[in-house]
Amino acid sequence: MEAAVDAARAAELAAALGLHPLAARVLAARGHADPAEAEAFLAARLADLPDPFRMKGMEAAVERIARALEGGERIACYGDYDVDGVTSTALLCGFLRAAGADVVTYTPHRLVEGYGLNGDAVRSLAAQGVRLLVTLDCGITSVDEVRVAAGLGVDTVVVDHHTVPVELPAAAAILNPHQPGCAYPSKDLAAVGVTFALAMALRRRLRERGRFGPARPEPNLKEVLDLVALGTVADVVPLVGANRILVRWGLEQLATSRRPGVRALKRVAGIADGTPVTAGQVGFRLAPRINAAGRLDDAGRGVRLLLSGDAAAAQALADELDRENQARQEIERRILEQALADAGARVAAGARGLVLARDGWHAGVVGIVASRVVERFHRPAVLVALEDGAGKGSGRSIEGFHLYDALAACSGHLARFGGHRHAAGVTVERAQVEPFRAAFEAHAAATIADEDLVPRCRIDGWVGDAEVTEDAAEGLARLGPFGAGHPEPVFALRGAAARARTVGAGGAHLKLALGRGLDAIGFGMGDRAPACGGPVDAAFTIGFDEWDGTRRLQLKLKDLRPAR
């Protein structure tokens, strides 16, 4: 599927901004054909971040937190156990401590307490003297728990980005760009992005009130953008608008971060200090290690890692998380093998949506496996880990199928659910698994068309062999960072000669010499070698392979087929 583009406008854009023609083509097709708008998109200036006070609830949130600071009230930062929640907690806690607050953190145990605010934790925090509770990456559905907090004399500020329910908690303030009537223009912030906006607004208000001075320096918010990049990329939100700006500068901060926890995390992930950090490295190397803490045990270790000021303690925590990530990978391999077999049977029976459940699956890992099942079968999938009389599960979806709405349609069979269009979590009683499966499959059958089940490789355009050059790779790199909502550009050659061989353990990967001899690698595509017996249509990204100080042009294959 090729992106539509106005060739004349793309040429004008290339001339106006000195862009490579392929880069201009991509920008124009993605809605940035106006030179001024394209220049702002490329520059991604911090000064272009929206005013945080445009967010509904910000004035009330800032006022309540400032009052707690000035009155010496104890504040609890209660964050979710994933990377977005962990980074949100570390960011706000670090800021509040720098501003002189009495602050504690709390991260619920995924397997014991589950997602979100819970009454026992609220009562425990109140007993510790907490008078203001700030929920981070959770809380938007916590009507009962916020009521419990209020009954104990604890006010709540909700900082969240998940789908807004009909009934909202009676909190002192709610920050969520999806609220009706919220004028904040970037609706797709991760929770850590909402938290950063809160920190921006708080700093401004505290500065006006004279909170900072020689004895208490004003926090430099640019230094926390490493946390914002980690949480934003890990939560797979669109890298456009404010998210693009935050991640653009956050990746720079990650490369040079003085935070001991980040430096230790990069070390165990094999990323040298001072070298550029990409969004891909965040998503596939750094984030999984932070997530491993919460998937298998105590996610509070991720918060402690990111807040640690001691290099040795941070390294010990990073080593621990690295070991847990390896254990998580082994558990994931076992569950994936079983899930693929179960999914294959359901697909053969005609299912367009998948609900898979087994005893012995790990609740902290089923979300990752659900993503793999969706990739393989191109159907929305909910995987449930059963234990005793109930199960906890995670779901992932495909384009065109709103997962949260689907779960809402099946909510009569669920004890609890939450999430958004692409990902969600559920709690379901064992006796309700089969009725839930039937309802979910029926909803999918009614809403998913035949064409939705066919995976498509979207390309930004067909190119000629001569257009694939180092200049093109450098020009396209200017469009980064890439991620959800702004993927790395994909181009395609039509009818190209292909000399193929397999590489890696068991011939897992496909190595091609395309056209004039362009070097191409297809990771995990070794089984596609038979398609290369003649000319092929090949889709790929254009970049560089860097090894041992040398750099060379390399294409990364996304798809291929015999030439048509």
Tens-digit pLDDT profile for residues 265-305: 999 999 998 899 999 999 999 999 998 877 767 779 999 99
Residue 547 pLDDT level (bands cut at 50, 70, 90) = confident
Residues with Cβ within 8 Å of residue 450, at least 6 apart in sequence: none
Q: Are 444 and 351 in contact (CB under 8 A)?
A: yes
Q: Which of 109-118, 199-208, 475-484 has the lowest mean pLDDT?
A: 109-118
Equal fold, 52-319 vs 457-562: no
Q: Give 381-390 pLDDT, tens digit per residue.
A: 999 999 999 9
DSSP alpha helices (H): ranges in 238-278? Answer: 241-256, 260-268
Which DSSP symbol is given to 283?
Answer: I
pLDDT of amino acid 296 = 65
User: What are the sequence ranges of the domains in the chain?
Assistant: 1-40, 52-319, 350-453, 457-562
pLDDT of amino acid 549 = 78
DSSP 405-421: HHHHHTGGG-SEEEE-S
Q: Which option is the CATH number for 457-562: 2.40.50.460, 3.10.20.30, 1.10.20.140, 3.40.50.1110?
A: 2.40.50.460
pLDDT over threshold 90, residue 236: no
Q: Give 39-94 pLDDT, tens digit per residue.
A: 999 999 999 999 999 999 999 999 999 999 999 999 999 999 899 999 999 999 99
Q: What is the CATH number of domain 52-319?
A: 3.90.1640.30
What is the helix (H) or strand (E) element at residue 390, kind and residue range?
Answer: strand 390-396
Residue 1 pLDDT level (bands cut at 50, 70, 90) = low
Residues with Cβ within 8 Å of residue 292, at least 6 apart in sequence: 321, 324, 325, 327, 328
Mean pLDDT of the chain: 94
pLDDT of amino acid 149 = 98
pLDDT of amino acid 71 = 97
pLDDT of amino acid 98 = 97
Task: List strands edge to edge, sheet with 173-175.
Answer: 102-106, 74-79, 130-136, 155-159, 173-175
- CATH 3.10.310.30 assigned to 350-453: yes
Q: Give 12-31 pLDDT, tens digit per residue.
A: 999 999 999 999 999 999 99
Q: Give 353-410 pLDDT, tens digit per residue.
A: 999 999 999 988 899 899 999 999 999 999 999 999 999 999 999 988 999 999 999 9
Q: Give 402-455 pLDDT, tens digit per residue.
A: 999 999 999 999 999 988 888 899 999 999 999 999 999 999 999 999 999 988
pLDDT of amino acid 111 = 67
Rounded average pLDDT over 208-221: 96
Q: What is the 3-state secondary structure (H, E, C) of 58-119?
A: HHHHHHHHHHHHHHCCEEEEEECCCHHHHHHHHHHHHHHHHCCCEEEEECCCCCCCCCCCCH
